[in-house]
Amino acid sequence: MSSFEATLAGELAGIDQAGLRRALRRVESIEGGHLGYAGQSLVQFASNDYLGLASHPQVVEAAIEAARRYGAGSTASRLVCGSLAPHHELEELLAEWKKTEAALVFSSGFATALGVIPALLGNADIVVVDKLVHACCIDAARLSGATLRVYRHNDLEHLEEILVWANEQRSGKGATKRVLIVTESVFSMDGDQAPLEQIVDLKDRYGAWLMLDEAHAVGIHGETHSGLAEARGVADRVEVQMGTLSKALGASGGYIAGRRALVDYLVNSARSFIFSTAPVPAASVAAAAAIRVVRSPEGDEMVGRLWRNIGTLDRILEPHRGKQDRAASSILPWIVGPNQKALDLADGLRRRGIFVPAIRFPTVPHGKSRLRFSVSAAHSPADFELLEKALRELARETEPAPAA
Ligand SMILES: *Cc1c(COP(=O)(O)O)cnc(C)c1O
């Protein structure tokens, strides 16, 4: 074996020993609440397609039509000749929906964070993030070169302590330091919500800016389903509204919504925007079609069904994960602790026709491995019945045998 291979094999052996080895599964089909895997059809509680829009006929047709009209790719970056009509239409639609002056789309949510945070901050600045923000925001914060401070998850007192500290740094030698707070509105692995009103009050009080990642909230929360900022009435006070088009909207890409100056500045400075080929036109057209569905009466009906399904799953999980706060999103984690336990439960469910991912470190902290259930409006009563039965059987299987 070459030393290159041997080095990597050694790394993999370490990952294996820790029970953290991952491998890809080849999924043959995925639609709504079902996926095809290894010749089986499984009910899945895994995808982020919370409304079933990835396979909605209007969304799929729009993508096909766009591919015919604009081709398979965008041919260049936005600033060269890849700034196609579908990108502009999607941005206008997003801005209208979010009630902001402007919006900007990127080829993914990850690329959005990676472009935006380093564009806004540099070495002299401070970035303050919730402990549980997504890897893309952590990586982007590091890339920016700003001083990174982490506050305990949803802990307003800790956040305020850090903002006090940040202002002390600012009042030092001359240079006005920028302070940016980054949080998710709905957290991707825990499914809980950030105390947005209080965070917005704090950032105003201390003269900081807020970047809000609505990846798991857009399409689901708020009167027009534009996100949790809308639901809490704070959207117009958030400097940088970020989200993805790849989850509830069923398409692909990331976005920023905010002031015209923000968008114009990002066009001139966000490196993942400038130095990357524009999003695939079919993806942008699909995202726009999905937003139109979400904002229609059909969208209201889908979101209503999603929330009823969330309530159903919450009730089914209760005997297993214990009493919890009422589910605040379409993500319901069952935190079981050890890696092996999460893997065994996922295996047991898979044998009974159900796919739920076991989530381990580094996606979640050590000792907090979990089954992460995600619900869709597309799940049927029969899907939930199968899950309920499977969980009951598994619980019986793992009960200690009665003493002889
Ligand atoms: C998925 C996710 C992203 C990344 O979005 P993609 O479009 O999948 O790249 C960003 N932030 C959070 C919180 C996410 O869950």
Ligand 1 atom at shortest distance from the alpha carbon of 111? 9
Give dist(CA 238, CA 371) in Å, integer: 32
Question: Which atom of ligand 1 lies closest to the CA of 246?
Answer: 7
Choose the residue to mutate in 108, 110, 137, 331 for probing ligand 1, maximizing ligand atoms within 8 Å of C-beta: 110
> What torsion do the CA atoms of 326, 186, 22, 13 make, to the nearest 10 degrees?
-100
pLDDT for the residue numbered 206:
97
Looking at per-residue pLDDT, the higher value among 324 and 227 belongs to: 227
Q: Give the model's pLDDT for residue 18.
A: 87
Helix (H, G, I), strand (E, B) or coil at 210: strand
Instruction: Using alpha carbons, select from 307, 330, 309 the residue that is nearest to residue 381.
Output: 309
pLDDT of residue 402: 63
Q: Which residues of 2-16 are buried (b: 16+ CB within 10 A; e: fewer)?
A: eeeeeeeeeeeeeee
Buried-state track 284-309, b at ≥16 Cβ within 10 A, e below 16 = bbbbbbbbbbbbeeebeebbebbbeb
Please spell the DSSP secondary structure of 145-203, one letter per residue. TPEEEEEPTT-HHHHHHHHHHHHHHHTSSS----EEEEEESB-TTT--B--HHHHHHHH
**pLDDT score, position 362:** 87
The pLDDT of residue 19 is 83
Q: Are 177 and 168 in contact (CB under 8 A)?
A: no
Distance CA 117, CA 138 (A): 10
How much distance in Å is there from the Cα of 215 to the middle of ligand 1?
6
Ligand 1 midpoint to CA 182 (Å): 14
CB-based contact 24:368 (threshold 8 Å):
no
Most confident of 16-20, 21-25, 59-63, 172-176: 59-63
Say if residue 23's pLDDT is above 60. yes
| Active site residues per annotation | 48, 134, 184, 188, 213, 216, 247
pTM: 0.95
- Candidate of 112, 132, 134 to mutate for ligand 1, largest count of ligand atoms within 8 Å of Cβ: 134
Helix (H) or strand (E) holding 308: helix 297-321
At 36-51, the pLDDT tens digits run 998 999 999 999 999 9
Determine what percent of the chain is predicted with pLDDT higher than 90. 90
Cα dist from 112 to 166, 241, 271, 349, whole Å: 25, 11, 10, 35
Which pLDDT band holds residue 1 (cuts at 50, 70, 90)?
A: confident
- For residue 119 the two structure tokens come to 């564009």
Helix residue ranges per DSSP H, 171-296? 196-205, 228-231, 260-269, 271-274, 281-294
**From ligand 1's centre to the CA of 394, what distance in Å?**
32
The pocket around ligand 1, CB under 6 angstroms, is made up of 108-110, 134, 136, 184, 188, 213, 215-216, 244, 246, 254
The protein residue whose alpha carbon is closest to atom 7 in ligand 1 is 109
Looking at residue 175, its pLDDT comes to 64
